[in-house]
Amino acid sequence: MIRTYQAEDKDYIINSHYEIFNKEQQYDLSFKDFIAEKVNSIIQRADERECIWILESEGKNSGSICIQKADDVTAQLGLFLIEPDARGGGFGKQLVQTAIAFSREKDYKSIILYTNDKLASARGIYQKHGFQLKETKTIHVSNQELQEECWELPLTLQNSI
């Protein structure tokens, strides 16, 4: 089940992102601060054109995704995470579809997202939904050198899934 964010989800989102990315990608504690800042900014703005969703599977929180307003016509997808024990069940696809549908409903013209080249599963989901790689650059984040990628999805009728 995918549902909208509730106040008690804040710690889950922050801690799950840090714990999973620390274990799987060796991200340091600065990543936890980055996620906390993102979650807090969305909550504080309380903008009707932004939303965080939580995936619940077998009675527990198992993932998340959000849409933030990049500008008046561009949404930004973020906080995309599926817990390891929930992967492979199509939940990532469902979360991305939820974010795309919301963005259309809120009259955004496109969605952008930032990821890196090491996150192959997420990148595959983005590609299947019509996102296209627009830019790549080397960045230093979480005590690592990463190839950051900007992906974009124009919101037209032909890329509805």
**C-alpha torsion sign, points 77, 158, 93, 120:** negative
Residue 90: what pLDDT?
A: 94
| pLDDT-based confidence at residue 117 (cuts at 50, 70, 90) | confident
Residue 146: what pLDDT?
A: 85
Tell me the whole-structure pTM to 2 decimals. 0.92
- Mode of pairing for the β-strands spanning 144-154 and 51-57: unpaired
Residue 29: what pLDDT?
A: 93
| pLDDT-based confidence at residue 99 (cuts at 50, 70, 90) | very high
User: 29-62 pLDDT, tens per residue?
Assistant: 999 999 999 999 999 999 999 999 999 998 899 9
| pLDDT-based confidence at residue 142 (cuts at 50, 70, 90) | confident
Q: To which H or E segment does residue 33 belong?
A: helix 29-45
Residue 157: what pLDDT?
A: 58
Would you call 59 exposed, middle or buried from its count of C-beta atoms within 10 A (0-12, 13-18, 19+)? exposed
Q: Are 110 and 67 spatial neighbours (Cβ–Cβ below 8 Å)?
A: no
State the angle between helix axes of 29-45 and 10-25 in degrees (0 to 180), rounded to the nearest 10. 150
CATH of 2-159, one of 3.30.70.1140, 3.40.630.30, 3.50.30.30, 2.40.170.20: 3.40.630.30
- Mode of pairing for the β-strands spanning 110-116 and 74-82: parallel
How many CB atoms are closer than 10 A to CB 25?
Answer: 14
Q: Are 99 and 77 spatial neighbours (Cβ–Cβ below 8 Å)?
A: yes
| Per-domain boundaries in the chain | 2-159
